[in-house]
Amino acid sequence: MDKLSRIEQEYQISLPEIYKDFYRLCSFSIPTKLIGTDLRNTHPELNQWAIELLEVDGIENFLDGSDFVFMMHQGYMFWYFKADGNPDPTVYGYYENKLKPDNEGLLSEFIKEYTG
């Protein structure tokens, strides 16, 4: 069983193929635009870090069990999507001291922006 299958099983989520391809790509080489960004590949605790950031900011935790934090930058911003079986979910980004996350568009376009 590979890491992604274990993640899906452990958290009872369904990761989209778009993300799985991104994960595999980043296992070999981090795209230049993502240097300095923590990825789930090497930091499986990103969901917990995101919750801690919200607590520090005094923001009520809006993440639920299907929200999958896949990137965090410098500890003050993170991106996530709902891992609920949608093949191309919406990505949301939270930035330090914001009241709510921003809609960043579809995962396919988001990833293309950073890897293309």
> Average pLDDT for residues 28-53, to the nearest whole number?
91
The chain-wide mean pLDDT, for the chain, equals 93
Instruction: Provide mean pLDDT across the span 92-113.
Output: 95
pLDDT digits (tens, 9 = 90+) for 104-116: 999 999 999 988 7
At residue 81, φ and ψ (nearest 5 deg) are -145, 165
Res. 39: pLDDT tops 70: yes
Nearest to 91, CA basis, from 101, 106, 77: 106
Q: How far is CA 71 from CA 31, 36, 38, 98, 111, in A?
A: 13, 10, 6, 17, 11
pLDDT in tens, 42-76: 899 999 999 999 999 999 999 999 999 999 999 99
